[in-house]
Amino acid sequence: MTLSEAETAVVAAARAGTRVDVREDPVLRGPQLAEALRTAGDLRSVHIAGATVEGAFDLGFAEITAPLRFEDCDFDTAPDLSWTHLRFVSFTGCTLPGLRAANATVNGDISARGSTLRGRLNLFHTRCSGNITLDDATLGSGISADSVVVEGGFFARRCTVDGEVRMRHARIGDALTFTGSTLRNPGRVVVRLDRATLSGGLFLGNGTEITGEVRALSTEIHRTLSLAEGVFERTGGVALRFDAARIEGELDGRHKLRVRGAFRMEDAVVSGPVRLEGASLANPGGAALAANGLRAGGLLNCCDGFRAEGSVHLTGAQIGTRLCFDDAAVEELHCWRVQAGEITLRFAAPPGSIDLRYARTGVLRDDPATWPAVLLLDGLTYDILDPQTTPARRVDWLSRDPGGHHRQPYEQLATVLRAQGRPDAARVLLLARQRRDTRRASRAARVWGYLQDATVGYGYLPQRAAVIFAALLVLGTVVFGASPPAAAEPAKAPPFNALIYTLDLLLPILDFGQQSAFVPRGAHQWASYAFIIAGVILATTIAAGLSRSLRRT
């Protein structure tokens, strides 16, 4: 093999471990250079600057013990490092049609800092004991790095990537970061991290702009998932998909996170807080945030300027401390079977609807000014309700269920009011519920309900019955005292007592002997019938109302 003068200089510099700049005679033949590096066993460091490498630079299956550095070099064929054992490899500021390093083993770093790869970077099943660094690089056809193993970090900051970044089953010992980068694969998956393990966190924020879907199904992320100040767009589809992901730390989506498309994290587990303060999510006509089955060990903050154009779905989510929507703007909120230590619903503007059915919380905070038009509360349980507004306001709150036939929300609130030392407010609330039920009943039931309401307030206003009974007793005493009825048997009849006679008429289960001893006639007879009927109705409604009240309380 005959080497050119420039190639000879490169080999000599490699043996001496010095940098060689070949800009004055830049052409190096790829096959010859590769063969020279394969066969020279005494290389200390290969450091080439300013070269134009023509032809295939193929080190496949070679073992190169010296560090391999290319600086400001131009390759016309994608270098091939597949199945190679290397100590260190770097392409800095270079231009390449692509780079193939599948199944390579590198006992150090892999770098393409500031380089331009017009084709794909292939790191399939590559093993790297150091870092992989692609900072400031431009990649025209994406990255193929399924099953890559990196003991250090994978750094792709301020990159531009067109095409898919594929890293399924990857294992990264430190951070995987694309901060400040632009990644584009419109309408398709742009970052694929399914079942990857990222021990130092995943950083997609701080100025990152991503067009396409970020997919991380069943991915394990330690420390932090950072989306803060990131822009993600896949209009009409899913922009962020973290379904079944496990995040051992914090999900940080604060500081002007922008998502155009759905943000999904269904059945994900986050050991720390989920922070979406100030985030803006938009998926008109669909789910802007779909986090059904989410389990968060800390708080879930959708507050402080959080905006969701579309619906927010948290069905079955379990939030360790607080679920917060203070100063948030959402169109629809679905919290069916949510569990949280505290739920705050003090929105910036009223949502269209909120579903809190079968949710469980210790403290529920809301704002009457931002109650939605539609509010589903059946099965909701809570220990404290804030603020303590008037019963009439809470009746309005409960009446926003379009079904409106559930009793549990009224009884739950009444229990809380009694626990707060407000039994009168609880009675007002339950009375309102009974009146609502009466209005929706059949005609006969409505009549009976109105009688109970007028007499005893369905058992919640027993003093009303006492007033009515006293009024009837006074009226009967006056009427029958002015014109006593004739004795049935004058010789045996006791002295007539108008008060006791009226009591005998009004109390059907008691007998003081007056009603049987005297027989009214004419108008007085009809009056006695009226008192008997009034007594029966009064006694029956009292019994029914009190029975209902005792049963419910």
Residues 468 and 532 in one domain: yes
Residues 475 and 541 in one domain: yes
Q: Three-state SS for 349?
A: coil
pLDDT value of position 443:
63
331 domain-assigned = no
Element (H, E) at 252: strand 246-252
Q: Which two tokens stand for residue 381?
A: 């349980």
Of 152, 186, 206, the domain-final residue: 152
Q: Which two tokens stand for residue 236?
A: 């009409």
Of 213, 207, 210, 211, the closest CA to residue 193 belongs to 213
Q: Which two tokens stand for residue 440?
A: 């929706």
Range(s) of the domain holding residue 516: 457-552
280 domain-assigned = no
pLDDT value of position 441:
54
Residues 64 and 5 in one domain: yes
**Cβ–Cβ under 8 Å, residues 85 and 105:** yes
531 domain-assigned = yes
The contacts of residue 425 (CB under 8 Å, 6+ apart) are: 390, 391, 417
CB atoms within 10 A of CB 525: 12
Peptide bond into 186 cis (omega under 30): no
pLDDT value of position 456:
54
Local confidence pLDDT in tens for the 553 residues of the chain: 688 888 899 999 999 999 999 999 999 999 999 999 998 878 899 999 999 999 999 999 999 989 999 999 999 999 999 999 999 999 999 999 999 999 999 999 999 999 999 999 999 999 999 999 999 999 999 999 999 999 999 999 999 999 999 999 999 999 999 999 999 999 999 999 999 999 999 999 999 999 999 999 999 999 999 999 999 999 999 999 999 999 999 999 988 899 999 999 999 999 999 999 999 999 999 999 999 999 999 999 999 999 999 999 999 999 999 999 999 999 999 999 999 999 999 999 999 999 999 999 999 999 999 999 999 999 999 999 999 888 888 888 988 888 766 788 888 888 888 888 887 777 767 666 665 655 555 565 555 555 555 555 555 555 666 676 677 777 877 877 777 887 767 766 788 787 877 777 777 667 776 676 777 777 767 777 777 777 766 666 666 555 555 444 4
Of 152, 171, 191, the domain-final residue: 152
Ramachandran sector of residue 513 (left: φ over 0; alpha: ψ -120 to 50; beta: rest): left
Residues 436 and 461 in one domain: no
Residues 541 and 476 in one domain: yes
Beta bridge partner(s), residue 258: 231, 280
Q: Three-state SS for 238?
A: strand
182 domain-assigned = no
pLDDT value of position 540:
65
CB atoms within 10 A of CB 384: 14
185 domain-assigned = no
429 domain-assigned = yes
Residues 143 and 1 in one domain: yes
Residues 428 and 466 in one domain: no
CB atoms within 10 A of CB 336: 18
pLDDT value of position 495:
82
pLDDT value of position 90:
97
d(CA 1, CA 157): 41
Residues 405 and 540 in one domain: no
Residues 8 and 124 in one domain: yes
Q: Which two tokens stand for residue 97?
A: 């049609």
Residues 6 and 50 in one domain: yes
Give the DSSP per-residue string, 467-535. Answer: HHHHHHHHHHHHHHHHSPPEESSTTTPPPP-HHHHHHHHH-TT---SHHHHEE--THHHHHHHHHHHHH
The contacts of residue 159 (CB under 8 Å, 6+ apart) are: 134, 135, 136, 137, 138, 139, 178, 181, 182, 183
186 domain-assigned = no
Task: Report how many domains make up the chain.
Answer: 3
Residues 488 and 408 in one domain: no
Residues 94 and 39 in one domain: yes
195 domain-assigned = no
Of 132, 152, 172, the domain-final residue: 152
Q: Exposed (0-12), middle (13-18) or buried (19+): which is 510, by Cβ within 10 Å?
A: exposed
